[in-house]
Structure 1
């Protein structure tokens, strides 16, 4: 396991995409006040925007798992501007972790004040 990834939506334990992280090592949870969470229908999107915080779960994953997560999140490393999410590193209490940041405007989208989806 060589990467840490912080997830906040359908990849969290018990959610519909959590099976993708089967075999990953659960590291712990954190609260990230540098993010805001938005309701995108069947899944959430986080953007870099101060808030009371977003609850994340942090996992240690392999290169192969990270590539699978990139595919799920429509992140294209070779053309990030056209990606639905951008993958970037952010500090967590467990160390620096990859976080998928929503890459579209959120002006008309409902913000989730609770910070949890």
Structure 2
């Protein structure tokens, strides 16, 4: 599973995706040959429509979002961090931050949480993008 912010490991890391990285969307190609190993719901997050992409934020326990989980290589994880504007050494300045969370079914995965204001953004109550 996740090994912090090091890209040097030869192991794969599980990443849960809920937006443009999902199968059939324009950024899915960044996952390369990463196999989808699971999918499911993560509790305690809400999804917001930010226009061309969604953003997940921490929310009440009742809130759920749906993710596809992929086993990614260290180089793919680094590419995803770049796409999501995640700066491991400067998380407060990041567009998204990466947190290790658990699916309802138990397995853990890294998930990118939106780290900017959601003022004016429409909540996606169903927890699935696009809604």
2:42: which partner in 1? Answer: 32
Native 8 Å contact 1:30 1:57 kept in 2: yes
Native 8 Å contact 1:25 1:60 kept in 2: yes
Deviation at 1:58, TM superposition (A): 0.3
- Mark the CA change 1:61 to 1:94 in structure 2 (over 3 Å): closer, same or farther: farther
Native 8 Å contact 1:27 1:94 kept in 2: no
Runs of 4+ deviating beyond 6 Å: none
TM-score with structure 2 setting the length: 0.84
Which of residues 13, 23, 35 is equivalent to 1:3? Answer: 13
- How many residues are paired up? 117
The unaligned stretches of length 5 or more in structure 2 are: 1-10
Larger-Rg structure = 2
1:85-104 Cα distance to aligned partner (Å, 9 max, x none): 00110012362210000001
The unaligned stretches of length 5 or more in structure 1 are: none
1:42: which partner in 2? Answer: 52
TM-score with structure 1 setting the length: 0.94
**Aligned Cα root-mean-square deviation (Å):** 1.2
1:48-105 Cα distance to aligned partner (Å, 9 max, x none): 1124411100000010000000000000011110000001100123622100000012
